[in-house]
Structure 1
């Protein structure tokens, strides 16, 4: 049976754009891993690859691609009839550890287009030295990692591109405000979905009973 031509219905590949207010940083990974990327305002990110398979990297072609952002952005075609040979690894756990001096602000996995605020657990506290706390928003753009970079220093064509900004403003992405529960109940039943439990239901029943008691009086 012929395969369905799904490729014609897939969305075209579009590059990730840097939003306004972000500073783009691109660095070549010539010093191996871990690699330090200076962001600014005393904040830097360290690209790390936790792995315990040292012999696998030593026996691999230095130009073999270990991880690439193109895999996240490329469309997923139908699986071939003949299985492909196994890759070097499934998906390596590349991460960015964001730090201010020696303080760890957060850990961000490498995923194309991912935006993350560090720290994301409330406002950071000042350290013992009295350093002013800083929060940054990080955007992962593209990366390319070869096996030679995992093994050590050298120019194997590996690179990483990030964008960042100080997280001192409100978010620029938000949804519509929630509809008031009394307005929602006036809509036709076919246009609303509600639960029989929860504080909204109990509050509505309380107000309704209060009005009925007032009428009965």
Structure 2
């Protein structure tokens, strides 16, 4: 069995996910690069290895049951356990003028597609990896969300909330709620489950608009992925600390 700590990051071929993988690799983790596209996955692994990380590719489509099951089998064959799972893969859905998503004109097929990736995909991967996480001495699960998923902040008139996003933002509220339920269910185990907001990061996800770099966005996820035993579980964090639900 591999004695190095093993991490799997979904959507790790680019952007924040790639920087999370790089950060964990720099800390000595063997990092699985979860991604659908074979060429992009291979390029990401090569780049991580060139930077000194112990990285390996994991073919993974979070919306496909068989793909997720095969990813779990790959990790089991390689290491026999999983120490860190970072559920980073996510999509915004189609955006209208001003980055808005009008709830009165929503495309329900698009809503289902976003929830399938951002929520059901997270649950599908987490459930498939749980047997491997249970084999770890200090297992950690980190779900990448957004402050847009905070109902408290979205309804606070004193907080700048940006455009209405009736598909993406509720998907993150849903993810936040799911994270709490996992933390409750696993409260009597060593598995810590938390959710993080990387902030407004300039990536292709948002057309490279944002004041933060992918590395800056990755920092909070790396911190939560490496929490000491007895750390928080079922909480929502950004760089500034805990975020209200």
Same fold (TM over 0.5): no
**Rg larger in structure:** 1
* Richer in strand (by share): 1
* Richer in helix (by share): 2
TM normalised by structure 2 equals 0.26
